[in-house]
Structure 1
Amino acid sequence: MTVRIVVADDQELVRAGFSMILDAQPDIEVVAEAGDGAEAVAAVREHRPDVLLLDIRMPTMDGIEAADIVCAETGCRVLMLTTFDLDDYVYDALRAGASGFLLKDVRRDDLVHAVRVVAAGESLLAPSVTRKLIAEFTSRAVTRSAVPPSERLAALTSREQETLQMIARGLSNAEIAVAMVLSEHTVKSHVSNVLTKLGLRDRVQAVIAAYETGLTVPGRSE
């Protein structure tokens, strides 16, 4: 299956470079490019891509607002681009529904791999830097949910809460299965229940929910 992608960045050379790398892959097709957030939203609405590679900082409409609209309106997966690994916008991008982020100096192979991972419905949570960033931003963020943390977690069984804790640590389903002495199929069911009960889009938002509810404390070794 071919992954259809829109590349959005206000720097033409950067945009063209990413597009050239991705379009050269036999299983990836760049269907459109955009120079700002508004153009990115329009391109997604027109072409219905599988993935939107989206710069965080852009004129007219920034990547945060664009990601919020795209994630609310479509099933397109959003992969954010940032120049700095401690960009203050990263947390807001993840809250908006982005499935992960990449630094703009990402290696060619890592860029292609990231697009394939996100297109497959997974999230970029494995690198330790991602977990550290999420922990940092959630530790200083004010919970915006109208539902108290304890009430949000009350919807989960003890096993599902334990699963959520392990998702927040960046563990894969296979690793969670080993830790909880369960089959991978059972873990997959727990993960699905967590996302459904908490109204979450994917594992990235599950990590954020774990920190915001206090189930996982930033900086604490689980």
Structure 2
Amino acid sequence: MTVMAMERPVPAGEIPRDRCQAQRVLIVEEHELLQAGLRAVLHGEPWVASCLGVSTADLAWQVARRYQPQLVLVSTSLPGRAGLGLCREFHAQMPHVRVVLMSAEGRVSAALGLVNGAVAALPKQMPTAALVASVKRVAEGGRVFPKDTGPLPVQLSKRELDVLQHLVSGQSNPEMALSLNLSRHTVKQHTSAVYRKLGVRNRAQAASRAQELGLVA
């Protein structure tokens, strides 16, 4: 297992000048150059004690259990929509970890982030200074989501959102039933509820509407 790490020694007697305690950070990013850039930028911050980097969700979970990070940056474009799944896994298994979703495909809504257990959603194209400031705000206990995300007209349950995400990825009802460990009848009920709440009649319209509302990454 290859783990890219950076660690900054803290001089004895050094007293932090801000509210943010030294953080162990884990970056889960499939693109090695971007991962290295994020590590280099965060490593230079006085509130970052160490910064690890991995490229897959499986490695991320192994590293997290060993090194116990306090802050995790997760790419939403990990293969197989694993980014959102990893976010939910941290929320369920290590609820003390603060997860930041990083997206290159457009904004991630507060609704999508929160229902998956994230406390922030940031575009990968953010200017470096703004990104660092946002991540530090999360480390201090804050939440950071797109400014243009207000109360959404559509309120989906967590299970309905799961169904929507699988629907948008192209899965059939039988495939969704298998993936979500639900009966086909239950999947059909959830799908009908999603259509009704989104005000659409079919899968293509549901996918388009979900993208407009930022309900899927």
Task: Give yes or no for the alignment of 1:73 onto 2:87.
Answer: no
**Alpha carbons 1:3, 1:116 under 8 Å: kept:** no
Q: Distance in 2 between matches of 1:42 and 1:35?
A: 12
Query: Unaligned stretches of 5+ in structure 2?
Result: 1-20, 160-196, 198-212
Measure, in 2, the Cα distance between the counterparts of 1:13 and 1:122. 28
**Larger helix fraction of residues:** 1
What are the superposed Cα offsets for residues 160-185 of structure 1, whole Å, 9 maximum, x if unpaired?
Answer: xxxxxxxxxxxxxxxxxxxxxxxxxx
Offset from partner CA, 1:19-58 (integer Å, 9 cap, x none): 0000011221343211022222222211111100110111
In the alignment, structure 1 residue 83 sits paired with structure 2 residue 78: no
Task: Please provide the CA RMSD for this pair.
Answer: 2.7
Residue 102 of structure 1: how far off its partner (Å): 0.7
Sequence identity percentage: 20
Q: Within the alignment, does 1:110 sit opposite 2:124 as a pair?
A: no
Is contact 1:7-1:34 (8 Å) kept?
A: yes
TM-score (norm 1): 0.56
| One-letter identity of the residue aligned with 2:147 | S
TM-score calculated relative to the size of structure 2? 0.58
* Cα distance in 1 between the residues matched to 2:54 and 2:81: 12
Letter of the structure 2 residue corresponding to residue 34 of structure 1: V
Equivalent pairs counted in the alignment come to 141
Which residue is 2:156 aligned to?
142
Runs of 4+ residues deviating >2 angstroms: 84-88, 90-94, 138-145
Gaps spanning 5+ residues in structure 1: where? 146-211, 213-217
Counterpart CA distance in 1 for 2:142 and 2:106 is: 21
Match of 2:61 in 1: 41
